[in-house]
Each structure stands twice: as structure tokens, then as C-alpha cells.
């Protein structure tokens, strides 16, 4: 099975290295590259044969784990392998919480990255952390639709419903309906609690 592997990283040299590793792990794959989160989302939505996303946590448009969460919401069936220079133990836990299947440090050598890509393509997942206090909230965030997630991120930026409606090209009534659904899914009563729940998870604001 051929397919597309999306590499989302803002460093051209590192994208090149990841492309080599991806090609080594799956020689017949098509490689798509993005240098920021919005183009990565566009690429992910456009590619109907996407088989894997290699994602750097820290790139333009992405704060915290919002990149993982947004890509996972758009393509829930596509494995996301996070490749990052962040503190591995902590970042791996958080990345898996938000929908990634695995995590590999940027300091790993090419063969280790190739192995991680093979594992992700084979359907292997890193075990999700057993952090009972936070995991139910993570599962609730993961259950939000892409639009609901964008509405929640707008609320976290302190934007009003009408501003969020304008940003997303939807009506204010639709934003309110999404907000009602978000509060229900997160099992909270108001916008402030929703923001606190999202922040407790390390979901940070996306700056456009």
C-alpha cells in the first residue's frame, strides 16, 4: 500500500532528515512537507491517502499540544508520530494524551527514527500514561470535533462568540451550539471551567 507521509516541521534540514527516514521505512510513500501548522492541517485534510503524520511540537502556529490535538481531530484514523526536542518523558506523555501514537526525540539517530516510523505504520502505539486524574479530561478533549476544538481554542484566547464566528466563517448561533456541546463533553458549566480544563492538559493557545 502506497500512501502519503506528512512531515510537519519548520526546519528544512530536519524535514530532509525525516524524509530520508520515512523513505527508508516506506520506500513507496509519497512525502508531503509543511513548515507551519496551518499548511500541515491543509495538507492533512487534502490528502485522502494519508498514512502517517510526523509532527514537530514547536513550529509556527502550534503552541503546546494544540498541533497534535487539531491534526488528530481532523484525521482521527491517521497515526501521528511526534518528533521533538522537548523533554522526552514529559512531552511523550502529553503527546500520547492528545492523540499521538508515539514520540521520538530529535537527537535520535536516523535508524531509530526509521524504526519509530515503521512501528507507527504497523499500528504500534506507545502506552498512554496512567494518570487517572487528567486522562478522563484528555479523553473528553479528544472527543471534540475539529470545529469544536477551534471554538475552544478561540475561547482560550479570550475571543467573543462573534469574533470566533468571524474567524471560522460560521454563524454566531453555530458557535453557541458548539459551545453548548463543548461544555457537555467536558462536563463543565461555563467557559471559564472549559478553559481551565483545557489548560490543565497543557493545551495552549494557537497564535495566528
Distances 3 to 48, 50, 55, 170 between C-alpha atoms, Å: 9, 6, 17, 33
Burial of residue 58, with CB atoms counted within 10 A of its CB: 0-12 exposed, 13-18 middle, 19 or more buried: middle
Write out the H or E segment, with its range, that includes residue 148. Answer: helix 146-156
Q: Write down all domains in the chain, each with its CATH number in brackets.
A: 4-121 (3.40.50.2300), 135-200 (1.10.10.10)
Q: How confident is the model at residue 28 (pLDDT cuts 50, 70, 90)?
A: very high
Task: Tell me the average pLDDT of the chain.
Answer: 84
Q: What pLDDT, on the 0 to 100 scale, is given for residue 105?
A: 84
Q: Poorest-confidence range of 19-23, 152-156, 195-199? A: 195-199
Which of 152, 153, 171, 150 minimizes the C-alpha distance to 162? 171
Q: What pLDDT, on the 0 to 100 scale, is given for residue 86?
A: 64
Is the pTM for the entire model greater than 0.85?
no
Q: What pLDDT, on the 0 to 100 scale, is given for residue 49?
A: 93
Q: What pLDDT, on the 0 to 100 scale, is given for residue 24?
A: 93
- In tens, the pLDDT along 105-139 reads 888 888 898 999 999 999 888 765 555 445 566 67
- In tens, the pLDDT along 140-192 reads 777 788 888 889 888 888 889 999 999 999 999 999 999 999 888 888 888 88
Residue-by-residue DSSP string for 34-88:
ESSHHHHHHHHHH-TTEEEEEE-SSSTT--BTHHHHHHHHH-TTS-EEEEESS-H
Amino acid at each position: 500500500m502506497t500512501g502519503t507521509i506528512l512531515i510537519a516541521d519548520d526546519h528544512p534540514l530536519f524535514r530532509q532528515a525525516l524524509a530520508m527516514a520515512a523513505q527508508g521505512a516506506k520506500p513507496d510513500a509519497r512525502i508531503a512537507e509543511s513548515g507551519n501548522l496551518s499548511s500541515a492541517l491543509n495538507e492533512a485534510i487534502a490528502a485522502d491517502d494519508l498514512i502517517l503524520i510526523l509532527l514537530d511540537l514547536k513550529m509556527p502556529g502550534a503552541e503546546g499540544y494544540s498541533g497534535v490535538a487539531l491534526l488528530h481531530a481532523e484525521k482521527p484514523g491517521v497515526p501521528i508520530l511526534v518528533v521533538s526536542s522537548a523533554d522526552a518523558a514529559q512531552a511523550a506523555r502529553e503527546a500520547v494524551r492528545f492523540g499521538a501514537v508515539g514520540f521520538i526525540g530529535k537527537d535520535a539517530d536516523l535508524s531509530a527514527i526509521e524504526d519509530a516510523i515503521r512501528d507507527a505504520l504497523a499500528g504500534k502505539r506507545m502506552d498512554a500514561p496512567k494518570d487517572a486524574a487528567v486522562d478522563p479530561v484528555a479523553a473528553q478533549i479528544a472527543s471534540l470535533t475539529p470545529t469544536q476544538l477551534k471554538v475552544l481554542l478561540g475561547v482560550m484566547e479570550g475571543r467573543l462568540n462573534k469574533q470566533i464566528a468571524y474567524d471560522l466563517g460560521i454563524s454566531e448561533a453555530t458557535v453557541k451550539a458548539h459551545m453548548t456541546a463543548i461544555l457537555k463533553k467536558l462536563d463543565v458549566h461555563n467557559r471559564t471551567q472549559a478553559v481551565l480544563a483545557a489548560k490543565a492538559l497543557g493545551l495552549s493557545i494557537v497564535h495566528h
